[in-house]
Structure 1
Amino acid sequence: MLLSVARALKADWPSCDGECPEILLTTQKAEALETLRNKAAGVCRVAMSPADLPDTLERFLKEVNPAALVLGENELWPGYVEAMNRHCKKPAVALVSGRVRKLAPGVSLDDLGFVTLQSDGGNWKLLDWTRDVTAPKSSAGEFAAPKDNPLIDVALVSFHKEELAAFGALVSAAASAGKSVVLAPRRLEEAELFREFLLSQKKIALDWPAVQKGSVTIVNRFGLVPEILRSCGVAVVGGSFVANPGIHDFWEPLREGVKTFVGPFSKGAEEAVSDLVSRGVVARISCAGDVGSDWWNVALDPAVAQACLQEEREKILNSYERLLKFLLATV
């Protein structure tokens, strides 16, 4: 998501105030570093995030000397905010697309210079699509049509090992019905655990990019979810079959015209998910242990999904324009 923000700032800054300052994108995921560097070429530098420790942060700030810090979603680390507020003369920390349920001790939103929350400011993972910077659509905000004959029947996206029971029930029904299934684990190191589970259930487990009816393909490389969603008919969003850590991106499959399912939990996006379910845009699987033999056979209205996406687009554009103004005034 923050790479999308970097792309947008890189594109829009020159027209506002001359050359865009250098952008450094950091990640906590070592396995994502190479992929991000390739995707960020010509846009920004990429490095591992410093640990949220006073001495480490002080060394990092001294070396990088940032004029502002943009945090995404639930990455409101107390040490980052405190260190940046000491480093800068005025509040220079922005939180975008925040999923804030409970602030850490010592942290106040008043310590930030800019805040936009998913509940009222939109999910910024749609920023590329919203601005049409890199999204493969003919115009900004265009909605992809549902696929008639998708290569992948069912995609299980960003599943955690704690969701193994739900995974087993969903896969068992789909594979038994001759559906092609693809699993993209949230953490690549958990891919082997899912494979062992499938083999214990006498299911066929393949490696990506092999896809076959009645079998389950396991993705073991980072950054392939967009490609998978462009080729699938049904997506089930991980993080929604356990109470923690929270539901993952349900807007991306909707944007691609994919019939989208979530589990009983939606931590961090309860209001948005409840609204989408009530409007018939997203289907909710209430009981992971009893999904039904044709759980994917639910009628959802693409036209209503498109209307919801357009509403989300307007929120994101408004929030992004406010972020740009904040950074222009801060840097």
Structure 2
Amino acid sequence: MSDQRAWEMRVFLQVAHTGSFSGAGRVVNMTPSSTAKLITRIEQRLGVRLVERSTRRLRLTAEGELYRERAEALLGELDGLDAEVAGEARSPAGLIRINVSVPFGRHALMPLLPAFSAAFPAVRLDLTVTDDVVDLYAAQADIAFRIGPLSDSGLLAVSLGQTRRRIVASPAYLTAHGTPRQAADLERHNCLGFNFRRAASVWPLRSGGRLVDREVHGSIVANNGETVRHLAVLGMGLARLGEFHVRADLRAGRLVTVLDDVITDSESIHALYLGSKRAPRRIRAFLDFMTPRLREFLVEPTGT
């Protein structure tokens, strides 16, 4: 809708409300004759009479009543949109759709959500927690947290840090099956894995002074890291997981690390989002709030 068309509607609504060209003119700072000419111009464009003129009071025709009803609805929606956007500019509000992996969502992101919601009560969150890598455009996600190398997608990325991979097992599993001392020992162990398409049954390890992809085998695969972590805690086998993912288990003694001298790989973690650097204020507020806290979380404690 053009500004001129919206202005004409506003003048018409004042005519309908006051019942006279002079009364409407005083409200919109126009002369009675200019107001009357504007209404005539609308009528000529529409090809119908909107106002019945008389010496005492103007009266809307049936077409005028319909025009008044639709104009009020359109302008009300337009004013509401302006208020919503202006409010968004002053204070973050609205919906943010977030996609995050199960481990990072549970251990890193979700513990921060209560503080974010307290700071920004007008922002609503739609959280999808899955280890499947989704297309942000297809999933209509605003922000996604990704672990690993980024594809050249054109999305904007905020670097959060890195997570070192650890090979872990429960003390009960190691008591029953022995502790691997070198990469070749993995052949005799049950190595828990993943069943999604991009997963490979190899672990990059240092062997003989060089890095090699060691093929591993196991009796159980799962579709997310949190399940694999839990299976390791239950003594089902060895698991290769991010340090942040098993940090609490290591502290509590539910898991211990093995082969620390041969596993050296780490993966980067980013927050990806759609749009441009002038993202909606709610998106910027979320990223500004989460980025320093997640970066601090990903710093590996000393002595682990």
Q: TM-score range by the shorter chain?
A: 0.3 to 0.5
Computing the radius of gyration from Cα coordinates, the structure with the larger value is 2
Q: What is the TM-score with the length of structure 1 in the denominator?
A: 0.32
Q: What is the TM-score with the length of structure 2 in the denominator?
A: 0.34
User: Which protein has the bigger helix share?
Assistant: 2
